[in-house]
A = this chain, B = another copy of it.
Amino acid sequence: MRNDARGGVDEPRMEAICEGPNVDPEVFRSILARVGDKWSMMLIGMLQEGPRRFSELKSMTPGISSRMLTQTLRQLERDGLVEREMFAEIPPRVEYQVTPLGLSLVPAVLALAEWAATHTAEIAANRDAYDAAAE
């Protein structure tokens, strides 16, 4: 299959994938939205290194509130990207880890991250130029 046909001819068409017969566009868009939301990918990134506790994730993620941490983890768990394990101890301990499914998402997001890293400066410059021209 041709994944890297950026010569100009016969490039893969996005709609063929986004709106293909076996892809619910709503589910697809909800996946894109998940990737784009404020904390999900950051959390997946931290869990890559191994299981983490709630409080660890909280302190590793500057700016996040308990509320958003819980909420984001619940969504990731619902999608099967993250697993939650509770230990009946005192004080309570809960560990989160990425599932194989969640792990399989990483390379794709990483590709996006690499693109962003490569083009951040260029985009910032474009924004500045655009804003300057509009004043």
Contacts and interface: CB of A to CB of B under 8 A. Distances in A.
Interface string A98-128: 0001011111111111111101111110110
B5 A48 contact: yes
A64 interface: no
Copies in the complex: 2
A24 to B, nearest CB: 6
Contacts of A105: 115
A20 B38 CA distance: 18
A80 B122 contact: yes
Nearest to A99: B126
Contacts of A110: 3, 12, 14, 17
A69 interface: no
Given A11-B48, A48-B5, A107-B4, A17 B117 contact: yes
A87 interface: no
24 contacts: A2-B49, A3-B107, A14-B48, A15-B46, A17-B113, A18-B45, A20-B117, A23-B117, A23-B120, A27-B120, A27-B123, A28-B113, A32-B116, A34-B36, A35-B112, A36-B37, A80-B122, A101-B122, A105-B115, A107-B111, A108-B112, A108-B115, A109-B112, A112-B112
